């Protein structure tokens, strides 16, 4: 659906992308990666940022050529066939729905620190319904709200970076200069190459969500100018924030003391007597998760509309309006079902949401594979290449992403994610095959009915014609018989009159 109004600007699109990316995975999940890699985590963030850079610019090239609301799903279908587009779209949608229902649970748990007796089921449902209804307002109004949430997150990260720098150089009141601090006692490659490789997967997940730029492309005011600008801003913003925040964190706390239970930022500041940071970060974390949920709902609502428009989702999800109301509502119901599953069958739910990492990596693999196919087929869009170093850069990223998926079983907690992801992949492949078989059978029945109706009509016409001919023949025969009878009567009459005439003459 093409945007009819002014549309999203590059800044609004950047805030939406940052809003999706900078969430719980950054404020909490980064602790696991830091513990695994040690000080070499900086290299991990740089390498992961480089991969994200290549993926974004590959997506940019294809999006500028065709700013479709289905983005990478549409491109995959064009490059590798409808089946690939179907599987990619549904895996992305399912992964995001499960992840966001999990985020609703996380927000509810965080609220419990302030309101201990609150029900997780009720609050989680209220949050999902609220996120769904806000998305119904449309891209323009939603982007303003999303920008507000994103600014809160950015200010929090910037504030931490400034406080950390003040602590390091000795300008923070009442605290002596930290200097190199804990870095003096750390081994740079604390976990070896294995630690860097293990942390790479987790950091890649921390960058996840930037693909919303492609899904929002159809609602920008000028995709050819807006998308490249938004991607530039997003890359600079994310790389700058992540690398700086991790770099200033390392002197403040030993990497062995960082874990997934506490935010590394809170743990580092608590260690230096800044105890109020926990309350502030708790608030920021809530806004960060809500921001991620809003932007994710925006993305999957557009994805669902794209699937429905091409007959790859139930027909009643189709929407002719600029805002995909039905796709958003359908996604909201999916999140509520995910939340209910998590509360009723927690083990099954945990197994399913572990596939979120697989869904993310699978999406990025599809983007890069599609980009390679597009470049071979069409070259650079309008003669302007966004991604340099082709084909080596694209192949490098593709190999890294495939390697990340293959390495999932060797990383704690990720083996189940790979198994669940493969099950999900097989399930949607079978769904597509089943859908096509059903459609083929239905089409065959329709053709047979049409053929039968054609022959029935023909037979009826022929029968009608034959019947009409018989009736006409009978009518003609009756008329002829009547004429003969009349003729005979007239003859007899004439004969009778002749006899009478002769008698008179005699």
Rounded CA separation 35/250 (Å): 11
Specify whether 280 is located in the same domain as 325.
yes
In a domain, 420, yes or no: no
Select the highest-mean-pLDDT range: 39-48, 113-122, 454-463.
39-48
> Collapsing DSSP states into helix, strand and coil, what is residue 220?
strand
Rounded CA separation 247/242 (Å): 9
Q: Is the pLDDT of residue 475 over 70?
A: no
Q: Is the pLDDT of residue 461 over 80?
A: no
In a domain, 418, yes or no: no
Specify whether 384 is located in the same domain as 444.
no
Confidence of residue 434 (pLDDT cuts 50, 70, 90): very high
Specify whether 405 is located in the same domain as 444.
no
pLDDT of residue 392: 87
Specify whether 407 is located in the same domain as 487.
no
Alpha-carbon radius of gyration of the chain: 36
Rounded CA separation 170/226 (Å): 42
Q: Is the pLDDT of residue 84 over 90?
A: yes
User: Which are the contacts of 331, defined by CB distance < 8 A and separation ≥ 6?
Assistant: 93, 97, 132, 297, 300, 301, 304
In a domain, 1, yes or no: no
Confidence of residue 422 (pLDDT cuts 50, 70, 90): very high
- Indicate the residue among 413, 435, 453 that finishes a domain: 413
Q: Name the residue among 53, 14, 28 with its Cα closest to residue 388.
A: 53
Rounded CA separation 448/72 (Å): 38
In a domain, 151, yes or no: yes
Longest Cα–Cα distance in the chain: 168
> Collapsing DSSP states into helix, strand and coil, what is residue 290?
helix
In a domain, 233, yes or no: yes
Q: Name the residue among 257, 205, 269 with its Cα closest to residue 38.
A: 257
Structure tokens at 120: 């997780």
User: Which are the contacts of 308, defined by CB distance < 8 A and separation ≥ 6?
Assistant: 314, 315, 317, 318, 319, 326, 327
Residue 202 has phi, psi (to 5 degrees) of -65, -40
> Collapsing DSSP states into helix, strand and coil, what is residue 8?
strand
In a domain, 2, yes or no: no
Rounded CA separation 337/397 (Å): 35
Rounded CA separation 96/26 (Å): 17
For 239-265, what is the mean pLDDT?
A: 84
Residue 8 has phi, psi (to 5 degrees) of -75, 140
The answer to whether residues 306 and 69 touch, using CB atoms and an 8 Å cutoff, is yes
Q: Name the residue among 19, 361, 91 with its Cα closest to residue 200.
A: 361
- Indicate the residue among 381, 413, 445 that finishes a domain: 413
More confident residue, 294 or 186: 294
* Tens digit of each residue's pLDDT (9 = 90 or more) over 91-136: 999 999 988 888 888 888 878 777 877 888 899 999 999 999 999 9
More confident residue, 471 or 83: 83
pLDDT of residue 3: 45
Q: Across the chain, what does the average pLDDT equal?
A: 80
For 190-218, what is the mean pLDDT?
A: 77
Can you give the pTM of this predicted structure?
0.80
More confident residue, 66 or 54: 54
Q: Is the pLDDT of residue 451 over 70?
A: no
pLDDT of residue 132: 94
Specify whether 459 is located in the same domain as 409.
no
Cis peptide bond upstream of 137, omega within 30: no
More confident residue, 445 or 304: 304
Select the highest-mean-pLDDT range: 11-20, 213-222, 294-303, 377-386.
294-303
Rounded CA separation 334/353 (Å): 13
Specify whether 431 is located in the same domain as 342.
no
Q: Is the pLDDT of residue 485 over 80?
A: no
* Tens digit of each residue's pLDDT (9 = 90 or more) over 177-202: 888 878 888 777 776 777 777 778 88
Specify whether 68 is located in the same domain as 143.
yes
The answer to whether residues 63 and 227 touch, using CB atoms and an 8 Å cutoff, is yes
Specify whether 154 is located in the same domain as 257.
yes
The answer to whether residues 243 and 258 touch, using CB atoms and an 8 Å cutoff, is no
For 475-490, what is the mean pLDDT?
A: 56
Q: What domain range is 66 assigned to? A: 10-413
Q: Name the residue among 289, 212, 252, 362 with its Cα closest to residue 26.
A: 289
Specify whether 207 is located in the same domain as 153.
yes
For Cα atoms 397, 371, 300, give the angle at the middle one, nearest 5 degrees. Answer: 90
- Indicate the residue among 384, 413, 442 that finishes a domain: 413
Specify whether 325 is located in the same domain as 466.
no
Select the highest-mean-pLDDT range: 205-209, 334-338, 469-473.
334-338
Specify whether 467 is located in the same domain as 504.
yes
The answer to whether residues 132 and 304 touch, using CB atoms and an 8 Å cutoff, is no
DSSP letter string, 449-505: HHHHHHHHHHHHHHHHHHHHHHHHHHHHHHHHHHHHHHHHHHHHHHHHHHHHHHHHH
pLDDT of residue 90: 95
- Which CATH number covers residue 211? 1.20.1740.10
Which of the residue ranges 139-153, 167-181, 461-475 would you say has the lowest mean pLDDT? 461-475
For 364-392, what is the mean pLDDT?
A: 82
Which of the residue ranges 18-27, 188-197, 245-254, 489-498 would you say has the lowest mean pLDDT? 489-498
Please count the structural domains in the chain: 2
For 18-26, what is the mean pLDDT?
A: 76
Q: Name the residue among 46, 75, 42 with its Cα closest to residue 61.
A: 75
For 258-286, what is the mean pLDDT?
A: 80
Confidence of residue 327 (pLDDT cuts 50, 70, 90): very high
Rounded CA separation 501/485 (Å): 24
Q: Is the pLDDT of residue 173 over 50?
A: yes
pLDDT of residue 2: 45
The answer to whether residues 436 and 93 touch, using CB atoms and an 8 Å cutoff, is no
The answer to whether residues 291 and 23 touch, using CB atoms and an 8 Å cutoff, is yes
In a domain, 478, yes or no: yes
pLDDT of residue 448: 61
Q: Is the pLDDT of residue 79 over 50?
A: yes
pLDDT of residue 1: 45
pLDDT of residue 399: 92
Residue 220 bridge partners (DSSP): 8
Give whole-number Cα distances, 426 to 30, 87, 268, 308, 365, in Å: 31, 9, 44, 21, 17
Specify whether 304 is located in the same domain as 397.
yes
In a domain, 319, yes or no: yes
DSSP letter string, 13-74: HHHHHHHHHSSHIIIIIHHHHHHHHGGGHHHHHHHHHHHHHHHHHHHHHHHHH---TTTHHH
Helix axes 415-505, 346-353, angle to 10 degrees: 90
The answer to whether residues 227 and 7 touch, using CB atoms and an 8 Å cutoff, is no
Helix (H) or strand (E) holding 230: helix 223-249
């Amino acid at each position: 659906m093409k945007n009819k109004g002014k549309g999203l600007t590059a800044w609004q699109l950047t805030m939406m992308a940052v809003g999706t990316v900078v969430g719980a995975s950054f404020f909490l999940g980064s602790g696991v990666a830091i513990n695994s890699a040690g000080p070499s985590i900086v290299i991990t963030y740089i390498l992961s940022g480089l991969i994200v850079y290549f993926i974004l610019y590959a997506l940019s090239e294809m999006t500028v050529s065709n700013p479709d609301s289905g983005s990478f799903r549409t491109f995959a279908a064009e490059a590798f066939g409808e089946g690939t587009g179907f599987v990619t779209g549904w895996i992305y949608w399912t992964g995001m729905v499960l992840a966001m229902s999990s985020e609703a649970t996380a927000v509810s748990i965080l609220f419990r620190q302030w309101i201990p007796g609150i029900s997780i089921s009720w609050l989680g449902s209220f949050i999902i319904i609220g996120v769904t209804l806000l998305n119904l307002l449309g891209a323009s109004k939603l982007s303003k709200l999303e920008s507000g949430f994103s600014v809160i997150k950015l200010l929090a990260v910037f504030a931490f970076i400034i406080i950390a720098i003040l602590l390091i150089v000795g300008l923070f009141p009442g605290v002596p200069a930290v200097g190199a601090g804990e870095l003096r006692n750390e081994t740079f490659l604390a976990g070896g190459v294995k630690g860097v490789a293990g942390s790479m997967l987790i950091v890649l997940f921390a960058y996840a969500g930037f693909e919303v730029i492609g899904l929002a492309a159809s609602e920008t005011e000028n995709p050819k100018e807006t998308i490249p600008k938004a991607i530039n801003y997003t890359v600079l913003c994310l790389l700058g924030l992540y690398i700086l925040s991790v770099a200033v964190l390392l002197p403040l706390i030993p990497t062995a003391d960082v874990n997934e239970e506490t935010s590394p930022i809170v743990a580092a500041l608590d260690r230096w007597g800044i105890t109020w940071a926990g309350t502030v970060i708790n608030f920021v974390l809530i806004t960060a998760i809500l921001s991620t949920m809003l932007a994710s709902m925006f993305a999957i609502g557009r994805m669902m509309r794209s699937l429905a428009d091409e007959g790859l989702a139930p027909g009643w999800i189709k929407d002719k309006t600029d805002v995909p109301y039905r796709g958003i509502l359908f996604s909201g119901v999916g999140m509520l079902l995910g939340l209910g599953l998590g509360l009723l069958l927690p083990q099954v739910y945990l197994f399913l949401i572990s596939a979120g990492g697989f869904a993310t990596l699978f999406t990025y693999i599809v983007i890069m594979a599609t980009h390679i196919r597009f470049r071979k087929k069409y070259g650079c869009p309008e003669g302007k290449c966004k991604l340099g170093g082709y084909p080596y850069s694209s192949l490098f990223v593709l190999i890294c992403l495939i390697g990340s998926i293959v390495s999932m079983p060797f990383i704690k907690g990720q083996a189940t994610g790979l198994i669940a992801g493969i099950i999900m992949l097989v399930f949607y492949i079978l769904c597509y095959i089943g859908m096509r078989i059903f459609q083929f059978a239905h089409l065959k029945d329709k053709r047979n009915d049409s053929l039968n109706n054609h022959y029935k009509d023909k037979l009826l016409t022929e029968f009608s014609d034959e019947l009409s001919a018989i009736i006409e023949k009978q009518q003609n025969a009756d008329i002829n018989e009547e004429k003969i009878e009349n003729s005979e009567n007239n003859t007899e009459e004439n004969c009778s009159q002749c006899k009478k005439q002769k008698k008179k003459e005699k």
